[in-house]
Structure 1
Amino acid sequence: MTDLSFAQRLADTLGTDAVSTSADEIEPWLSDWRGMYKGKAQAVVRPSTTDEVAACLALCSDARVPVVPRGGNTGLCGAATPDASPNNVILSLDRMHAIRSIDTTGNTMVAEAGCILGNLRRAAEEQHRLLPLSLAAEDSCQLGGNLSTNAGGVNVVRYGMTRELALGLEAVLPNGEIFHGLRTLRKDNTGYDLKQLMIGAEGTLGIITAAALRLYPRNDVRVVVLAAVNSAQQALELFELLFERGGPRMQAFEFFTAECLDLVLAHVEGMRAPFAERHPAYVLIELADTVDETALRALVETVIGEALERELCTDAAVSESIAQVNSMWRLREEISEAQRADGPHVKHDVSLPIEAIPAFLETAGERVEKHHAGVRLIVFGHFGDGNLHYNLSRPSGAPRDFFAQHGEGLTAEVLDEVARYGGSISAEHGIGQLKRDYFSRYKDPLEIRLMREIRKVFDPHGIMNPGKIF
């Protein structure tokens, strides 16, 4: 039964403007954007300061009220959606969107967790700096969610995950204490690095309220190559060459199959085939630098020429303008929307040792086909860092509820194969609710035990984001 007196205590403490308790006001906050999960809550709290977050958590801790942190609601695993308990309090930091500082000497940015990622990237650009974290949802997702899921994106091959970009954190612990770790130091060997526990914890250890982030030189010179390849093995050999010749200039190396491009051409208006012939797969490569465009373009053309001579790709197109850069990227970025238009599908966000990707694609495909013939493989991802989005679409002509019957078995086939190659069942999307059972199945029991014990230290009453990860 909903504790109305507790909701009133929240309103009395934080102000009625910060606390919503009516059913109509709460309703939009109860579902994830994919429509997979829907829960319940007694209140939505939208604090404006770290002290208000602390006051909220202190009240919830005392009353043993569960708290569900909510960012931009762009996640794919249900981590920001409440469970069925009507006592839940949803806590959103969307009003905490200040950029506290940008330091162009130390090359750091300090920003609050409710900031939209795209706004942070643009603010850095205005200061002639680069915040390299870049996602398809960057104009909707919030920094707190990026940190809580250790988001990846397209530039990981050069700059690393969100974890590598975070120098310090400010966070509120479940009991209302404030963790003052908002340091911009590059070096700090004073014991355990507690911020790294908070990053990727999906809101189960506390609420991140602000972060100090690394900035890099703004790379205004960009050259994109779209190359056609016959196989994943050929793409891997091309990656080796680009990594050797391009060095740190290579910031993206994306792979997608012909089936992905077919969907984009079929479902996205205004898209055109990049080559006269259809090829088995494609890679999209971006190199960026601060030098003049002529030097970078000469490097790219030399390397791609060598790749063609060595038969590491079968065709290639080099961008001639920013418009072409953007149009090439659209071929990759529109895959998810095209698949959504095609109908229900099953997503697998997995990572593998990079050298094992070609073998995995062959054997996983065989397992899927053996389990149910005709399932369409829509495979794309961040090849350069080992992250594949190994998605399944229903066989042509199959009913829309195909995966209600076959999805679980197909997922088991895919993830068993991931485990066989020493991979991970979640590369950048997290665990949330979606992968909770698989997490228990595939994670080492000792690791799970240690994680549970860490969680108890931070959150002894178990109020933080219940039902997520564990």
Structure 2
Amino acid sequence: MTKVVLDRFAAIVGDAHAVRDPDDIAPYLIEPRGLYHGNSPMVLKPGSVDEVSKILATATETGTPLVPQAGNTGHTGGQVPLEGESQVIVSLSRLNRIRNVDPTGNTMTVEAGCILEDIHKAANEVERLFPLSLGSQGTCQIGGNLSTNAGGIAVLAYGNTRQLCLGLEVVLPTGEIWNGLRSLKKDNTGYDLRDLFIGAEGTLGIITAAVIKLLPIPVGHQVAIAGLDSPDQALALLNKAERKCGHALTGFELMPRIGMEFTTTHIPGNRDPLQENYDWYVLIDISSSQSEEAADIMMQGIMEEAFSDGIIKDAVIAQSESQRAAFWNLREMMPDSQKPEGSSIKHDVSVPIAAIPDFMTRADRAVRAAMPDARIVAFGHMGDGNIHYNITQPKGVTPAAFLARRHEINEIVYEIVLEMGGSISAEHGIGQMKRDKLAAIRQPIEIELMQRIKAAFDPAGIMNPGKVINTPGKPLPH
């Protein structure tokens, strides 16, 4: 990648928005978990769709590989360059305008660099809700959420990011701009191109804007935490809550005792709301379109019946909005609370909901057979089958020795997940972390179809190479 080529890119965005200093580039080269660290001679920060178009057209002409990057909060290395390669980063942070808010049609048109929390605030100003909720919402950007089809804590009621998007604006690798910013809820005219780009992790083009769905803000809201003995009881509680609440059940989170201990120990202000310690905890979230009283009555009914049936041992229902937020903070800070305990081997997996207790039993047995002192912190969105099956570094073991066994432990967990008809990536994407595993577990025809799509959209192979799938004939470093 010559200086002449880099100068051409810099001329598109202006020198002030073409980052070349290694110290300034460094934060873009590593992801939050520190597992992947790449190389890049330049970070480009386009300020318009036209500039993105010119960048991609120039990259195709010169054969320059590009890595789109939003808020850099991804967990599988999809947003950072490959190590040992020279790839230009395209940051979407300056494309951060909210173009239109339509409370009557319940839509909002946003650019890819809009921070998720800012979208929440804009929706709230017109008494609407954008339900995508993530722990990283103060820094993650909607373009990255769309590119990874992010999940979050409200999937049970509202679906993944894919279900919350009506239309897209995308710049293709050739520099062509596809304006698919449609706000129609029903549009049955041919192939759904939108769904190709959502979840593609920047391998087919760059999402520059989207039309997203808004919903009425729930009138009533209630949260409770219950203590119980096993995931089997949690499953029974979920079934009961779904029967009583239907679509009003917006969250059902499973948490282990060790996770609660980490969170209350390492996160200031957090405490266990129950009087006794329990092996497992469940957080239930109910949203009502009728009233606060209706949400409270539903929650009271669930807890009373579950206690009477011997499903739960104890429970506490939030008495204020601040207490509801405190209950959710226990769950949302669980990943961060693992960091002071050492390194983690993490799995973002899903299995059929009814199989979760069996998965927990089998995975725990297999992991402890391989690593007897493993500290298993398995928690997550039980209501939609997504478990974050994490293993914290055993005491007395060095981080290097522990992480050296990451792939071994991954294989143990993934084998059980796949045997149960599950997925190795529930909401975090494939990136570079699971690229080779994806190729190994999917049918050959599925991988071939993905490669055909990639070749059709990106014949020069410039878009986020080495992520999601390998391009035939182009071996990539690990």
How far the C-alpha of 1:273 sits from its partner, in A, is 2.1
> Match of 1:344?
343
> Match of 2:472?
none
The one-letter amino acid paired with 2:320 is S
Q: Note if contact 1:147-1:199 (Cα within 8 Å) is conserved in structure 2.
A: yes
How far the C-alpha of 1:360 sits from its partner, in A, is 0.6
Post-superposition Cα deviations, 1:63-111, rounded to whole Å, max 9, x if no partner, equal: 0100000010111111110113554110011001101111111100100
> Match of 2:78?
79
> Match of 1:266?
265
Matched, 1:300 2:299: yes
Q: Note if contact 1:267-1:342 (Cα within 8 Å) is conserved in structure 2.
A: no
Q: Note if contact 1:3-1:87 (Cα within 8 Å) is conserved in structure 2.
A: no
> Match of 2:421?
422
Report the 3-state secondary structure (helix = DSSP H, G, I; strand = E; otherwise coil) of the residue aligned with 2:404.
helix
> Match of 1:435?
434
> Match of 1:332?
331
The alignment of Structure 1 onto Structure 2 pairs a total of residues equal to: 469
The one-letter amino acid paired with 1:127 is V
How far the C-alpha of 1:220 sits from its partner, in A, is 4.5
Q: Which runs of 5+ in 1 are unaligned?
A: none
The one-letter amino acid paired with 2:140 is C
How far the C-alpha of 1:398 sits from its partner, in A, is 2.1
Please say which of residues 62-71 and 19-28 is displaced more in the overlay: 19-28
> Match of 1:156?
155
> Match of 2:473?
none
The one-letter amino acid paired with 2:212 is L
Report the 3-state secondary structure (helix = DSSP H, G, I; strand = E; otherwise coil) of the residue aligned with 1:429.
coil
Q: Which runs of 5+ in 2 are unaligned?
A: 470-478
Q: Note if contact 2:224-2:285 (Cα within 8 Å) is conserved in structure 1.
A: yes
How far the C-alpha of 1:28 sits from its partner, in A, is 2.5
> Match of 2:124?
125
The one-letter amino acid paired with 1:116 is I
> Match of 2:197?
198
**Shift in alpha-carbon separation, 1:24–1:338, aligned structure 2, 3 A:** closer
Give identity over the alignment, percent.
Answer: 43
Q: Note if contact 1:7-1:21 (Cα within 8 Å) is conserved in structure 2.
A: no
The one-letter amino acid paired with 2:256 is T
Query: What pairs up with 1:313-324 in 2 under 5 angstroms?
Result: 313-324=312-323
CA distance in 2, matches of 1:272, 1:30: 36
> Match of 1:448?
447
Post-superposition Cα deviations, 1:390-430, rounded to whole Å, max 9, x if no partner, equal: 00112232223232332221111001000110100000000
> Match of 2:476?
none
Please say which of residues 322-331 and 434-443 is displaced more in the overlay: 434-443
Matched, 1:69 2:91: no
CA distance in 2, matches of 1:432, 1:370: 29
How far the C-alpha of 1:25 sits from its partner, in A, is 3.0
CA distance in 1, matches of 2:338, 2:26: 28
- TM-score (normalizing by structure 2): 0.96
Matched, 1:227 2:229: no
- TM-score (normalizing by structure 1): 0.98
Post-superposition Cα deviations, 1:29-48, rounded to whole Å, max 9, x if no partner, equal: 22212222111112211111
Report the 3-state secondary structure (helix = DSSP H, G, I; strand = E; otherwise coil) of the residue aligned with 1:169.
strand
Report the 3-state secondary structure (helix = DSSP H, G, I; strand = E; otherwise coil) of the residue aligned with 2:432.
coil
CA distance in 1, matches of 2:155, 2:145: 13
The one-letter amino acid paired with 1:8 is D
> Match of 1:457?
456
Matched, 1:30 2:29: yes
Post-superposition Cα deviations, 1:190-213, rounded to whole Å, max 9, x if no partner, equal: 100001000000000000000001
CA distance in 1, matches of 2:22, 2:264: 42
CA distance in 2, matches of 1:277, 1:84: 49
Query: What pairs up with 1:247-266 in 2 under 5 angstroms?
Result: 247-266=246-265
How far the C-alpha of 1:11 sits from its partner, in A, is 2.1
CA distance in 1, matches of 2:430, 2:424: 9
CA distance in 2, matches of 1:405, 1:90: 29
Please say which of residues 13-22 and 418-427 is displaced more in the overlay: 13-22
Report the 3-state secondary structure (helix = DSSP H, G, I; strand = E; otherwise coil) of the residue aligned with 1:312.
coil
> Match of 1:395?
394
Q: Note if contact 2:341-2:393 (Cα within 8 Å) is conserved in structure 1.
A: no
CA distance in 1, matches of 2:316, 2:272: 12
Q: Note if contact 1:128-1:217 (Cα within 8 Å) is conserved in structure 2.
A: yes
The one-letter amino acid paired with 2:316 is A
Q: Note if contact 2:78-2:432 (Cα within 8 Å) is conserved in structure 1.
A: yes
Report the 3-state secondary structure (helix = DSSP H, G, I; strand = E; otherwise coil) of the residue aligned with 2:222.
strand
Query: What pairs up with 1:367-378 in 2 under 5 angstroms?
Result: 367-378=366-377
**Shift in alpha-carbon separation, 1:455–1:322, aligned structure 2, 3 A:** same
The one-letter amino acid paired with 2:361 is E
> Match of 1:89?
88
